[in-house]
Amino acid sequence: MNLITGQRILSKLSNLGPGLSRSPLSTFRFVYDSFDRLFGSGSRSDVATEDRLVDVGGRELGIRIYRPIKTVPKLTMVYFHGGGYVIGGFKSHHGFCSLLAGQAHINLIAVDYRLAPESPFPGPLQDGLDVWNWVTDHAAELGIEQTKIGMGGDSAGGNLTAVLSMQTFADLLEGDLSVAPAFQFLLYPWVDMSGESDSIQRFGKGLILTQETMTFFRDAYLPKALEPQAIKTSPMLCEDMSSTPDTLIVTAEYDVLRDEGLAFVAKLQQAQVSVSHIHLPDCTHGFISTGRFSPATRKRLNEVAGILTQYAESI
């Protein structure tokens, strides 16, 4: 296995004992949030942050706005964190969001959407749609009206991003996109809810994300009665890709979601969607929170930020 040493060590730590997915959910969430604090990239001095509560559909959701201090961004990205729709939030992704904003010179608006099992499918998708519409409707107030506004996310956040930006949600959600995103940024996205790819079996044990954890996430997020509808919204199954915006996608070699990510890239390219893709041959799922003590991982994180930089320069 050609996995970066620091990521290999953290994979072993993640698999000590019976496994986090068998722990109380509060413990799982605490440990996942702690990864970024202990091993992540940390806050950048060249990025300002601002927390807000926004009123969408009669409920309040948190957003955290990251702005590079010394540059004028061309892009703004509404960002949905990963965590299987069950764990994660501002704490788990702060370092990575700060890094993207500072390294890629973009505005980034992280969304604290509701989580399963408290709010299963399609609750997080509805939150994503509503916050996206709030951001685009308030672009002038936020000072981002002169930028290209897109959306992005990692893992489950990549699923949320693709379902919204490719508009596969049909009649499941209330409302439509008020503005179509200019681009979508997908980092090892969960794009096939059927869970049948070979990489789930091949890389299902011993890494940061395991097959057992994926099953736990899926069962918490997808009520049995709605499972057929959820699978139908899988971006991988989308037949009409005419609404797909410019797509920036990153896949990792040692990842249960590797095969569906690579197949998704091929399908987008076949549909003549504008795609920028990088595949990281020595990384695993979740590596974005493991850069503090690993120069090799930090190099890969810079490459991930670089795909956004290159896209901004092409505008």
Q: What's the confidence (pLDDT) of residue 81? A: 98
Q: pLDDT truncated to tens, each residue of the chain (315 aa)? A: 899 999 999 999 889 888 889 999 999 999 999 999 999 999 999 999 999 999 998 999 999 999 999 999 999 999 999 999 999 999 999 999 999 999 999 999 999 999 999 999 999 999 999 999 999 999 999 999 999 999 999 999 999 999 999 999 988 999 999 999 999 999 999 999 887 789 999 999 999 999 999 999 999 999 899 888 888 899 999 988 988 999 999 999 999 999 999 999 999 999 999 999 999 999 999 999 999 999 999 999 999 999 999 999 998
Q: Cite the DSSP H helix spans in 119-247.
A: 123-137, 139-142, 156-165, 198-202, 211-221, 227-232
Q: What's the confidence (pLDDT) of residue 19? A: 83
The pTM of the full predicted model, rounded to 2 decimals, is 0.97
> Which two structure tokens, joined as six digits, stand for 35?
């990864």
Q: What's the confidence (pLDDT) of residue 13? A: 87
First-last CA distance in the chain? 38
**For tokens 């060249």, what's the residue?**
46
Distance CA 305, CA 312 (A): 11
Residue 143 falls in which region: left (phi positive, over 0), alpha (psi -120 to 50) or beta: left
State the number of CA atoms in the 13 A half-sphere of 44 facing the CB. Answer: 21
Q: What's the confidence (pLDDT) of residue 132? A: 98
Q: In sequence order, which residues have a C-beta less than 8 Å from that of residue 126 and are 6 or more positions away?
A: 57, 173, 174
74-84 burial, b at 16+ Cβ within 10 Å, e below that, comes to bbbbbbbbbbb
Q: What's the confidence (pLDDT) of residue 292? A: 94
Instruction: Return the closest-CA partner of residue 308 out of 184, 181, 165.
Output: 184
Q: How many domains does the chain have?
A: 1
User: Angle of helix 25-39 relative to helix 90-104, nearest 10 degrees?
Assistant: 30
Q: In sequence order, which residues have a C-beta less than 8 Å from that of residue 208 and are 6 or more positions away?
A: 7, 10, 11, 14, 284, 285, 286, 287
Q: What is the SS3 assignment for 165?
A: helix
Instruction: Return the closest-CA partner of residue 56 out of 102, 1, 107, 111.
Output: 111
Q: What is the CATH number of the domain that holds 306?
A: 3.40.50.1820
**For tokens 């501002």, what's the residue?**
90
